[in-house]
């Protein structure tokens, strides 16, 4: 089940099959970093116990990027560079300046890399062929771009863009707090909100586990603050935090939904994964569609 969602939509008609994607991703499998590499990234099977790099559930394709980074703390490099600089200055009786110090830093980094501790992380993506979108399970755009760029490199093309709405999400979310009766029926406001000042000071107020439909919150909005993040419950399926850049973070599926998944699960890992993903796709597809409508809809050119 995804914990976060960064959403992209296809900017033009794009035909893709599981077989095409599998063939393309096989050219970019994950491999561990070499002795002189800081990072390495490639695709691994998204489904436990499977060797396939693409898992298909209906019109939903799942892929997973694994990245390995060698952790080399900056203070370790700094200390090693300083020791080498001091040694050269003492031995040769001359001053080391920035250009040469940078060269020494590169040499030291290269020397330390084989001893650096490797850390692996995984990022999954759901390609929704019916909904014409790609959803990445991460909270940061940088990581989402790493994954989508790798898919694009494998395929040669991946025409996706962030959704463009008719009006900024912050405006709609702020309106919901001012007029809670306008909140769509499938959504319920939670007990957390982040307000940001649009003025020069850029102040912000974070509210947790409180009644956000209150005079105090409205007073802040009346002074010019806008909603930047808002906790929302969607039907009886999940809760999440909607951000003003359309990210969904901290997604938590309800016990009722998880019990449905458990009831569908089979004995083997692959069947359990398939059941979980099918249930998640149904829930998330409805959530994303309803959210876009609730926030005012796509710009006209995107609808076309």
DSSP collapsed to 3 states, 57-109: ECCEEEEEEEEEEEECCHHHHHHHHHHHHHHHHHHHCCCCCHHHHHHHHHHHH
Using CA atoms, how far apart are residues 67 and 30, in angstroms rounded to an integer?
A: 8
Residue ranges per domain, the chain? 74-114, 169-303
Q: Would residue 112 be called left, alpha or beta, if left means φ above 0 and alpha means ψ between -120 and 50 degrees?
A: alpha
Mean pLDDT of 49-67: 95
Read off the pLDDT of residues 243-254 as tens digits, 9 standing for 90 and up.
Answer: 999 999 999 999
Closest by CA to 123, choosing from 141, 136, 107, is 136
Tokens found for residue 35: 């002795």
Using CA atoms, how far apart are residues 235 and 240, in angstroms rounded to an integer?
A: 12
Please tell me the predicted confidence (pLDDT) of residue 259.
81
Confidence label for 120 from pLDDT (cuts 50, 70 and 90): very high
Closest by CA to 173, choosing from 199, 193, 191, is 193
Using CA atoms, how far apart are residues 19 and 21, in angstroms rounded to an integer?
A: 5
Contact in structure between 112 and 76 (CB atoms under 8 Å): yes
C-alpha distances in angstroms, 39 versus 26, 116, 153, 289?
Answer: 19, 11, 17, 36
Residue with tokens 């149904």: 282
Mean pLDDT of 156-181: 94
Mean of per-residue pLDDT scores for the chain: 90
Percent of the chain with pLDDT over 70: 96
Work out the angle between the directed axes of helices 18-25 and 141-155 (0-180°, nearest 10).
100
Report DSSP state, residue 167.
S
Burial of 45 (C-beta count, 10 Å sphere; 0-12/13-18/19+): buried
pTM: 0.85
Contact in structure between 194 and 206 (CB atoms under 8 Å): yes
Confidence label for 227 from pLDDT (cuts 50, 70 and 90): very high
Read off the pLDDT of residues 254-287 as tens digits, 9 standing for 90 and up.
Answer: 988 888 776 665 567 788 888 889 999 999 999 9
């Amino acid at each position: 089940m995804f914990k976060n969602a960064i959403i992209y939509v296809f900017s033009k008609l794009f035909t893709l099959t599981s077989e095409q994607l599998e063939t393309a991703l096989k050219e970019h499998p994950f491999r561990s970093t070499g002795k002189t590499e800081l990072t390495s990234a490639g695709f691994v099977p998204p489904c436990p116990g499977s060797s396939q790099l693409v898992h298909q559930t209906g019109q939903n394709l799942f892929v997973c990027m694994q990245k390995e980074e060698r952790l080399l703390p900056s203070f370790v490099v700094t200390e090693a560079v300083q020791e080498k600089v001091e040694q050269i200055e003492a031995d040769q009786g001359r001053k080391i300046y920035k250009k040469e110090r940078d060269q020494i830093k590169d040499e030291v980094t290269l020397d330390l890399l084989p001893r650096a501790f490797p850390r692996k992380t995984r990022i999954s993506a759901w390609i929704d062929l019916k909904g014409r979108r790609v959803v990445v399970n991460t909270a940061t755009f940088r990581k989402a771009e790493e994954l989508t760029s790798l898919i694009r490199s494998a395929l040669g093309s991946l025409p996706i863009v962030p959704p463009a709405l008719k009006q900024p999400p912050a405006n709609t979310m702020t309106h919901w707090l001012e007029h809670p009766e306008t909140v769509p029926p499938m959504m319920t406001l939670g007990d957390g909100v982040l307000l940001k000042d649009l003025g020069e000071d850029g102040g912000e107020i974070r509210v947790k586990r409180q009644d956000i439909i209150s005079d105090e919150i409205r007073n802040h909005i009346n002074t010019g603050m806008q909603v930047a993040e808002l906790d929302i419950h969607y039907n009886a399926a999940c809760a999440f935090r909607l951000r003003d850049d359309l990210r969904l973070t901290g997604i938590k599926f309800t016990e009722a939904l998880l019990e449905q998944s458990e009831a569908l699960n089979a004995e083997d890992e692959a069947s359990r994964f398939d059941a979980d993903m099918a249930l998640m796709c149904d829930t998330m597809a409805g959530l994303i569609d309803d959210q876009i409508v609730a926030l005012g809809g796509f710009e006209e050119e995107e609808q076309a």
